[in-house]
Amino acid sequence: MTPRGAAPDQGSLASKPGAWAELALTLPVFLGYQVGVVFLNVRNATDVVTSRLLALSHGDRLTYLELTAGIGAAMFVVFAVLGRGHPLRPGKLVQIALEGMAYAYAMATGTSWVVGKLFAGPPARAISGPFTGVVMSLGAGFYEELAFRVLLFGFGAKVLVWALAGQRVGLVGSSPSLGLRAVLVMVLWALASAAVFSGMHYVGPLGDPFDLRSFVARAVLALALTLVYATRGFAAAVWTHALYDMWVLVF
């Protein structure tokens, strides 16, 4: 057991990284997307960074790439300074990536089974070129997990559990023992946020035509990613989402 106030053992396979380590573990996904997306005519709907960087660089790709490299370097310095006392071992990145592969495979298998049982057929899959598929998968992994798991589900669950059950909950790191009402609130909010996540894929000019099979499939995936986020952290959810999308779009 880790003493109160002591840094968690980041080398343990079962341990979840600290907050700054979580972000550091997702840096390769973030930078891979930001570098690749500038060569595409599409970007992830939750991406609020690329358009601003392109505006700052006046549309010049070289300047954009230099700004992106600067962001990466700045983030590395921030992680190194603010993450002191919570050392990040290189093997943790390998572990999180391997976990993501395992979770992604389980999600693909489980979703096909659920949707197949409900509709007697797998959900429709988008077809994409390999480069576009990889880049968009990285973007979905980082930005959608940040928007839907961290902000929508994570922050929303904290507020709702506090307001409706009178308890405080931390979804990344150690959490207090929760009462039945708090658990029920979190489960219901997980279902609602999964429906929102799925529904957002059909909204706007770039949205897909609505299909009940794909809606259910995406909702099931959102629930699985919520479970990964709540039990293993943000980095594991990002890698799982990105690798799953690569599995579907590329392989």
Q: How far apart are CA 156 and CA 158, in angstroms?
A: 5
Query: How confident is the prediction along the chain (251 residues), in pLDDT tens digits per residue?
Result: 344 444 445 556 666 666 677 878 899 999 999 999 999 888 898 998 999 999 999 889 999 999 999 998 888 777 766 655 555 677 788 889 999 999 999 998 888 888 777 776 656 565 568 899 999 999 999 999 999 999 999 999 999 999 998 888 765 544 567 889 999 999 999 999 999 999 999 988 778 899 898 999 999 999 999 999 999 999 999 999 999 999 888 87
pTM for the structure as a whole: 0.86
Q: How far apart are CA 28 and CA 24, in angstroms?
A: 8
Q: How far apart are CA 40 and CA 166, in angstroms?
A: 47
pLDDT tens-digit readout, 47-77: 989 999 999 998 899 999 999 999 988 887 7
Let me know: does 203 contact 224? Beta carbons within 8 Å.
Answer: no
Amino acid letter for position 39: F
pLDDT the model gives residue 93: 82
Q: 123-127: which pairs have CB atoms within 8 A and are 24 or more residues apart? A: 123/211, 123/213, 123/214, 123/216, 123/217, 124/211, 124/213, 124/214, 125/248, 125/249, 126/208, 126/248, 126/249, 127/249
Q: How far apart are CA 83 and CA 152, in angstroms?
A: 25
